Structure 1
Amino acid sequence: MAIRAVFVLSLLFGKSVNLVNSQSSFYVAFFPGSYNDSTTTSDHHNSLFISSSVSEAGTTCNISYDDDSRQEITININPNLVTKHELPAKTRMSSGVKIANKGVRVQCSKNVSLYGLSDGDFTAIPTESLSQEYIVPGFQSNSFLGVVGTSENTTLDIFIKSTCSYKYGGTAYGNGDVLTVLLQENDVLQITDQDQASGDGCDLGGSRIVASSKVSVFSGTVYYEDGGSHFFLQVPPLAAFSTETIVPRVQTSYPRKNIIRVIAAKNYTILYLPRSTRVLMSGDFVDSTFNFTEDQVITSLLPVLVTQTCLFGPSGGFSTVVPGQDLYQNDYLIQVLGKDLRQEDPYLTVISKTSAIRDLKVNGVYPNNINWVNVTRAPVPYSVGDLHIDAGQQLHISSTSPIFVREHEYNMKNTHGYIGGYDIPRDTSSNHQGRFG
C-alpha cells in the first residue's frame, strides 16, 4: 500500500476530487529560522493548512501543541476549502541541541492532507507512512536535524555524520559517534550548532536514525550562509528512495545556484550523474551544481534520495525532495502561495511521459501554452513542461499517466517552492539493528 504525501490541497470550483491515500494522523514540528531566540516569539509564523475532499463533510481535527504548556484544540475543516490554522509563536523550537515537548500532533476524524509553513515549508507525511529508519539528506551550512516522537518510551539512536560536533548533556558528539536518547510522545530531539559563525559549513547529511517506534524526521538549515535562506524538509523513509529521478529546470529571471544532492541508502551504490559515475557507500552523498535552465536525469543501480536546493539572487531560495518517476501520481490540487507584492510571477512545472503530454489537464482544460522539452537521457521518454500561472491561483492538474508537479515563486525572503506530492510506499525494510549498508 502507498500513502500519498501532499502539499496544500484544495477543491476547485466545487468539483469533488478524490484525495487518494490521505490520512487522519500527523506528527510535525516547527524549527528555528534564526539563532536569535527573540525572533521565535515575534517575527515568525507557524501555519498549518488542512484540506479534505467534498465527500468528507463534517471533518474535525484535534491539534495538540505546546506554547509553554500542552494545549489541545478542535477545529472544523471545511469541505471544498483549505483550512488554515495559525499556531502560537512559542510552538517553534529555539536553536541548540535539546529535547523539548514541542511536537504538533494533528488527529482528524476523517482523512485529510496537511501542509506546514514557517520560514520554510514542508509536506506532512502521515503517521501511517512513517518509519523507524531514516537517512538525513542534510544541507551544506548551519544544518539542523529534528526527530518527533509518536509514542511513549521510544529509544532513538542518531548515528552522527557531520563536519562539526554537537554538545548534549555535557558530552560532545561528532562524526562517527552515536547519540542515544529516550523520546516520549510529542518530544522533539533537535540537533543544531550553537550560532551562525560556528555553524557555517556544518552539514548533517548522511546521519542515520534508528528508533524503536515510528518517528517523524526533519532536515533543514537554520541559516543557509550562501543566499541567506532557511530550508526545511520532512524526510521521507527509505521506501521512498528511487533508482531514477528527473530533476526539472527552474524558470526565473534571478538564477544563482541550482544544487542537486544525491544520497545513498546502501553500500556500493553505483550512481550515474550527467557528468560522471560514482560509487557511494551507505550515507555518502554527492552535491552537483547545474544550470537553472537544464533538466537533469539521475540514475543508480540501488535506490537513492534526491533533493534540489535553488538559490536566487540576491537572496531567497527553496528546497524540495525530488521523487522518482515510480512515485508520481495522476491527480494534484495545489495552491499558489505567493503574495500580491512579488519579484516575479509564479510558475508551474510538470513532468510527464512524452506520450501523454496531450492528456494533461489544468483546471479541466488541455493547455496549449506549456513549454515542453524532451528529456533525452531517460530510458522511457519523458518531457518537462513549465507554465506561467497567477499569484494565489488554485490549480487542479491531472493526467491519464502519472505526473510530477511543482509550483515555485521567487520573492526575496518570501521565496517558496514545493512539489504537489508523491507516493510513499509502506516501509517494510526495517531491521531495527542500526544497519543501513
Structure 2
Amino acid sequence: MSTGPISIDTPVRFAAKLPEAADVVVIGSGVIGVSTALYLARAGRSVVLLEKGRIAGEQSSRNWGWIRQQGRDPDELPIMVEANRHWRQLATETNRDIGLVRGGVTYLAQTEAEMARYADWVPHAQSQGVDTRLLTRAETAALLPAASKSYLGALHTASDMRAEPWVAVPALAELAARAGAQIIENCAVRCLDIAAGRVAGVVTEQGRTAAPEVVLAGGAWSALFLRNHGVALPQLSVRATVAATTALPEVAPGGMADTRIAFRPRQDGGYTLAAGGFHELFLGWDALRALPKFLTQLKAEPFGTRFLPAAPKGYPDGWRTPRRWSGEDTSPFEGQRVLNPAPNARKVQQLKHAFAALFPELPSFEIAQSWAGMIDTMPDVVPVVDRVAALPGLTLGTGMSGHGFGIGPAMGRILADLAQGNAPGHDLTRFRLSRFADGSPMRLGPAL
C-alpha cells in the first residue's frame, strides 16, 4: 500500500475511452473533482472525469490528511460539517481502508493572545453544533503527557478526523467509477469548446467531448486555464513542505499544532510533520498581477511567506509558461503532468529537530520520506465555488487554500448540484467569483 504522495511514476489506474459526449465534464482529479464526479454519477448523469496526470497526483495526496471542522471560516463551517458526515459514510462504502480515524484536532496555545483568538472562534462552532471547546493548561498537559513544553491551553475538537489522502482520494475515484463515471488519466484538457457564446464541451489532447456543462476543479492550474479564456482569477500557488517519520510510540491521539510545528499520527505508525503558517511563493507574472489583491493577507501575516525568484520550468506561474494557446496546440498541462516540487530540505530537518525536542523521551527516529505540494490559495483564504458568468456552462471550484482535502466530499456534492442547476444547500455568497472585481472589501478567513 502506498504511504506517500502519488506521482507521475504511479501506474495509470483509469483509462476509459474518451466519449464523444457527456452530460458533464469534470476537469481535474483532486479530491474536489473526484467528489464532483462521484455525486454526478450517483445522480444519474453521464460524467467524464479528465486528468492530465494521475488521480490525486498533486495537492490531494500531499496534504496533512486532516479532516477538520476546527478553525474554519464561518461560511465554510456548515459545509465542513456536511463533509464530516460524507467521510464517515464513504469510508464504509469503499473496499479500501482509507485510515479514517476520529482522533480530534488540537491547536496549542502559548500566549493569552492565542487563547483569545481561539475563544473568539468557539461561538462559530457552537452555532453549528460542533463539539469544539477550550482546554485548560491542565487538560492540555493531560492530552500531551510526554511533551517537554508547557502550554497555556488549547482549542480542541474531539470529533475532527484524519485519513491517508493518497489512499482516500483514489478510493473515492473507484467509487465514482463504480457509479458510472468515466475516468481518464493522462488526458489533458487543453481548453473549452465554446459555441454561440457558451460552453459546448472540451478539447483534449485525445480529441473533443461535447458537453453542455463543465466543472473546473483544476487546483493550482485553474487560473492558467481560465486566463486562456480571458477570465482573470487572482489565485496563486505556494509550496508547502511535509515530512513523515519512521514508526514511533504514540505521543498524541490526533492532529496537533503550535506556532512551530503541526503533526498527526499516520496509519503506518509514524507521524506526519509540517510547519504551521509557513509556505513559499515562486514569483511569476500571476504573482505580480495578483499582488494588490494579496496585500491584506500579506499585512496580516508578513512573515508567513518566503518569496522565491522563479518557479521550476513548466509550473503554472513560471516566467516562460505560455498564457495563450489553441485547442490544436500542445498545452502547458501536457508539459507538466504532475507538479512534484522538491521539499525544502532545511525545513525538513527543522521539523525533525522540533518534534524530537517537543517529545525528548521518544526513541531515535529518522525522516522516512519528505515531499512538497503546491497549494492553490486565494487572497482571502477561502475558495471560489461559483458559476462563471463570462462562460455560461462552466462551474468553478478552486482555491481551497490548503483546506480542500477535508471539505472535499461536500464541495464535490455542491459543485455537482450547481452543474445540474440544483440549489447548493448552502449560502455560497462568500465564495462568489465576482468578489474580486465588484469592489468588496477583502475579508480574511480566520488565521487558525
TM over 0.5: no
Class of the TM-score when normalised by the shorter of the 2 chains: under 0.3
Higher strand share: 1
The two structures have a TM-score, normalised by structure 1, of 0.27
The two structures have a TM-score, normalised by structure 2, of 0.27
Larger RCO (CA within 8 A; separation ≥ 6): 2
Higher helix share: 2
